[in-house]
């Protein structure tokens, strides 16, 4: 079974621009979670989607948004980029039914904001 | 914000020895706990999950959970240089929200 895929893998943007990242979950998985990883803050939860609905959201500003499509693929968007948005953005997929499920991470998108 | 705390290390262990990684969490009602391993420049991969008090063994890895003490640990027996990585403790807060500790950087010395 193919793993979680993320595109693009690397991205360079300038302040004020916006960016859209894509995540394709493992086949059959309906939950997609997004995380931001930085050296200073570690891994932080952004939001989670299940069956096209956002079920949970972390403490990030409204510039960070996401959506999920009927095939469970998900996108996240960051508008008005700031230097501090430079990070590794990871998505993880799971079946989404209960707390004991493992989340499987994709390879990540490394975003650099100049 | 519920917290998960780990000793950031670095933790240095000789090859063949036992590496012990510890994690405490603040939310008493937490039920699902995960250990992920992350190599430099890579994404996290699951090592172990544990939900019940006690020990859970998988090969060279043993996870231990004590809900009364709000403590979860990971033991790595017969440590190998390939075990050198950052180990992340995570707690599922609900609706697939994982709260991670800062990670412990482990180095296995040949």
CA–CA gap between residue B1 and residue B26 (Å, rounded): 9
Q: Are A114 and A84 in contact (CB under 8 A)?
A: no
Q: Are A36 and A61 in contact (CB under 8 A)?
A: no
Q: Which of residues 60-99 of A touch B (CB under 8 A)?
A: 90, 92, 94, 96, 99
Count CB neighbours of A86 within 10 A. Answer: 15
Chain A residue closest to B86 (CA)?
A42
pLDDT at B69 over 80: yes
pLDDT category of residue A5 using cuts at 50, 70 and 90: very high
Hey, is the C-beta of A33 within 8 angstroms of any chain B C-beta? yes
| Sign of the alpha-carbon dihedral angle for A114, A39, A11, B41 | positive
Answer whether B98 sits within 8 Å of A58, measured CB to CB. Answer: no
Pairing mode, strands B104-109 and B11-14: parallel
Q: For chain A, give the longest Cα–Cα distance.
A: 40
The string of pLDDT tens digits covering residues A21-45 is 999 999 999 999 999 999 989 999 9
CA–CA gap between residue A2 and residue A28 (Å, rounded): 11
CA–CA gap between residue A100 and residue A58 (Å, rounded): 20
pLDDT at B28 over 80: no
Answer whether B96 sits within 8 Å of A33, measured CB to CB. Answer: yes
The string of pLDDT tens digits covering residues B32-54 is 999 999 999 999 999 999 999 99
Once rounded to an integer, what is the mean pLDDT over residues B10-19?
Answer: 96
């Amino acid at each position: 079974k193919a793993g979680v895929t993320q595109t693009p893998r690397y991205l360079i943007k300038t302040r004020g621009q916006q960016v859209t990242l894509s995540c394709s979950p493992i086949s059959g998985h309906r939950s997609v979670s997004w995380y931001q990883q930085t050296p200073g803050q570690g891994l932080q939860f952004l939001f989670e989607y299940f069956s096209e609905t956002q079920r949970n959201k972390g403490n990030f500003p409204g510039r960070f948004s996401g959506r999920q499509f009927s095939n469970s693929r998900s996108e996240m968007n960051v508008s008005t980029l700031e230097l501090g948005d430079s990070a590794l953005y990871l998505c993880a997929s799971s079946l989404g039914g209960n707390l004991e499920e493992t989340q499987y991470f994709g390879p990540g998108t490394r975003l650099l904001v100049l | 914000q519920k917290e998960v705390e780990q000793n950031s290390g670095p933790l240095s262990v000789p090859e063949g020895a036992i590496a012990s990684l510890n994690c405490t969490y603040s939310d008493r009602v937490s039920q699902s706990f995960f250990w992920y391993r992350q190599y430099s420049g890579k994404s996290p991969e699951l090592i172990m999950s544990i939900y019940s008090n006690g020990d859970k063994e998988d090969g060279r890895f043993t996870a231990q959970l004590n809900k009364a003490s709000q403590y979860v640990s990971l033991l790595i027996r017969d440590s190998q240089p390939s075990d050198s990585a950052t180990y992340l403790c995570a707690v599922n807060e609900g609706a697939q929200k994982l709260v991670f500790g800062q990670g412990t950087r482990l180095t296995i010395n040949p």
